Amino acid sequence: MLKTTLKIACLAALGVCAMAASASAGKLTIESWRNDDAAIWKDQIIPAFQKSHPDIQVEFAPTAPKEYNAALNAKLQGGTAGDIITCRPFDASLELFNKGYLAPVNDLASMKNFSDVAKAAWTTDDGKTTFCVPMGAVIHGFIYNKDIFKELGLTEPKTEEEFLATLDKIKKDGKYTPLVLGTKDQWEAATMGFQNIGPNYWKGEEGRKGLIAGTQKFTDAAYVDTFKALAKWAPYLGDGYKAQAYPDSQNLFGLGKGAIYAAGSWDISTFRGQNVNMGAFKAPPPAAQKDCYISDHTDIGIGMNAKTPNAKDAKVFLDWIGSDEFANIFANALPGFYPLSNAKVTVKDDVAQTFVSWRGQCKSTIRDSYQILSRGQPNMENDLWNVSAQVLNGTMTPEAAAAQIQDGLKKWYAPQQK
């Protein structure tokens, strides 16, 4: 009995250990937070790559967005991360590069397809080294339900005043939720709200760079006005919006119960799946303003694990990501993600086309909390989530919200301490 018991114990221990060893040689594994896109990678993007590179096996292995940063860090530390790493923009990836987890990609032939602006999100502060191949940008705006607009006789609002008047009409009719946006997940309020309409107030790059240089403050009129504009949305949000999470918002609009949805362009494919008859309009500027600005955010890049045993294949793959072929597939397989390369791309989805057409009409900028300003404690992006949700909830005034962000920034960021 002793012997059998011990034998079983040993066998069990061995079995467990055997399961541990799962190092995959030769096959490229992609780490990503885009689990929504898993099917598209498996069925369209990877097969397209393998058509020209039949000898390289690729697997897309995403983690849920909420866990991605933590899980990826743990895996990189443990040396078990995949060969290809999907890169968040700016500081999160810069930190990975500084720790030696990401390899430089300057020497890839296809890097010449990218402008400096496109590369900025994945380049060191001195501008010398780029560590991820830029993949896609997302654009903010509003998606609306065409059927509801037709039924109520509404047209796309061109200015902020028109926007509020439209919301008012939908509210008076009473059948639909005028504006679909929830504050429970907090980031929705900051990203789809504050960052969506803000560039019109702080004049895009001018304001963003001013904050970084310390020549502008969050307590300046531009930022306070953004919060004020946001606060005006509250009466038009859905019943119980304070407990409405992002998926609830997606369902509310997807089921045709909401008229206007504060959007990121990546939502297009979600609503295509739910057969919504939709159109889009850009963040409406205040009436007197002639210029318009849009949030056109470099959101997703792709790099190489510095310790991958398959460096050669990984480079071939990354080089292909930089190619025109990829740009075309990516733009159309995932409408709402816009390739960052200089390749001439025809976007077929009409709503995605609408979004991208704004690039010609307005000036582009990225989200102002992403570069440099979220490096310290308290973390500005976390704070923005918090105060934007509170402004919409009515538990904080626009002035107080702006003051809290400015105070936080002043605590650690030298250019703002002058």
Partner 1 sequence: MRSRFSTIAIHAVLLGYTALALFPIILVVMNSMKMKRAIFLSPLTPPGPASFDLIGYHRVFSDGAIGTYYMNSIIVTLGTIFFTLLFGAMAGFALSEYKFRFNKLLGLYLSIGIMVPIRLGSVAIISLVSGMNMINTLSALICVYVAQNLPLAVFILSEFVHQIPKDLREAARCDGLSEYNIFFHIILPLLRPAMATVAVFTMIPVWNDLWFPLLLAPSGGKQTITLGVQQFLGQYVTDWNAVLAALSTAIIPVLIFYVLFSRQLIRGLTSGAVK
Partner 2 sequence: MADNQQIEMVGMNRSAYLRVLAFFLAPAVLIYTLFSVYPLLATIFDSLYLRHEGGALTFNGLGNFQTLLTDETWSKPFWNALRNNLIFFIIHMCVQNPVGLALAALLSLKQLAFRNTYRTLIFMPTMLSVVIIGFIWQLILSPLWGIWKMGLNAVGLGVLFGPYLGQEHTALITISLISVWQFVGIPMILIYTALLAIPDELVDAATVDGLNQWQAFFHVKLPLIWPTIGLVSVLTFVANFNAFDLIYAMQGALAGPNFSTDIMGTLFYRTFFGNQLQLGDPTMGSTIATMMFVIILMGLLVYLYVIQRRIQRYSF
Residue 385 beta carbon to partner 2: minimum distance, rounded to whole angstroms: 6
Interface residue with partner 1 among 26, 47, 52, 67 (CB under 8 A) is 67
Q: And the tokens for 225? A: 């006005």
Is residue 36 a contact point for partner 1 (CB under 8 A)? yes
Q: Which stretch binds partner 1 (CB under 8 A): 165-173, 251-259, 292-300, 366-374?
A: 251-259
Q: Which of residues 252-271 bind partner 1 (CB under 8 A)?
A: 254-255, 270
Write the CB contacts of 322 (distance below 8 Å, at least 6 apart in sequence).
108, 109, 110, 111, 113, 114, 133, 341
Select the binding partner of residue 2 from partner 2, partner 1, none (C-beta < 5 to 8 A, by kind): partner 1
- Spell out, one character per residue from 360 to 389, where the chain touches partner 1: x when CB under 8 A holds, - when not: ------------------------------
Residue 76 beta carbon to partner 1: minimum distance, rounded to whole angstroms: 9
Interface residue with partner 1 among 22, 275, 346, 377 (CB under 8 A) is 22
- Compute the distance between CA of residue 86 and CA of residue 303 in angstroms, rounded to an integer: 6
Is residue 174 a contact point for partner 1 (CB under 8 A)? no
Q: Which of residues 170-209 bind partner 2 (CB under 8 A)?
A: 182-187
Considering beta carbons, is residue 1 or 414 the nearer one to partner 1? Answer: 1
Is residue 69 a contact point for partner 1 (CB under 8 A)? no
The count of other CB atoms within 10 Å of the CB of residue 170 is: 22
- Compute the distance between CA of residue 413 and CA of residue 216 in angstroms, rounded to an integer: 13
Would you call 339 helix, strand, or coil by DSSP?
Answer: strand
Would you call 296 helix, strand, or coil by DSSP?
Answer: strand
Q: And the tokens for 161? A: 């005043």
Residues 156 and 289: beta-carbon distance below 8 Å: no
Interface residue with partner 1 among 35, 289, 323, 379 (CB under 8 A) is 35
- Compute the distance between CA of residue 333 and CA of residue 345 in angstroms, rounded to an integer: 12
- Compute the distance between CA of residue 381 and CA of residue 80 in angstroms, rounded to an integer: 29
Q: If you ran DSSP here, which 8-state letter would residue 23 be given?
A: P
Residues 257 and 176: beta-carbon distance below 8 Å: yes
Residues 64 and 246: beta-carbon distance below 8 Å: no
Interface residue with partner 1 among 64, 109, 213, 287 (CB under 8 A) is 64
Would you call 401 helix, strand, or coil by DSSP?
Answer: helix
Interface residue with partner 2 among 59, 91, 156, 205 (CB under 8 A) is 91
Q: And the tokens for 10? A: 């040993």
φ, ψ of residue 178 to 5 degrees: the values are -60, -55
- Spell out, one character per residue from 50 to 79, where the chain touches partner 2: x when CB under 8 A holds, - when not: ----------------x--xx--x------
Is residue 213 a contact point for partner 1 (CB under 8 A)? no
Residues 129 and 106: beta-carbon distance below 8 Å: yes
Residue 270 beta carbon to partner 2: minimum distance, rounded to whole angstroms: 16
Considering beta carbons, is residue 5 or 377 the nearer one to partner 1? Answer: 5
Is residue 61 a contact point for partner 1 (CB under 8 A)? yes
Q: Rule CB under 8 A: which residues touch partner 1?
A: 1-2, 5, 9, 12, 16-17, 19-20, 22, 35-36, 38, 61, 63-67, 70-71, 74-75, 77-80, 246-247, 250-251, 254-255, 270, 274
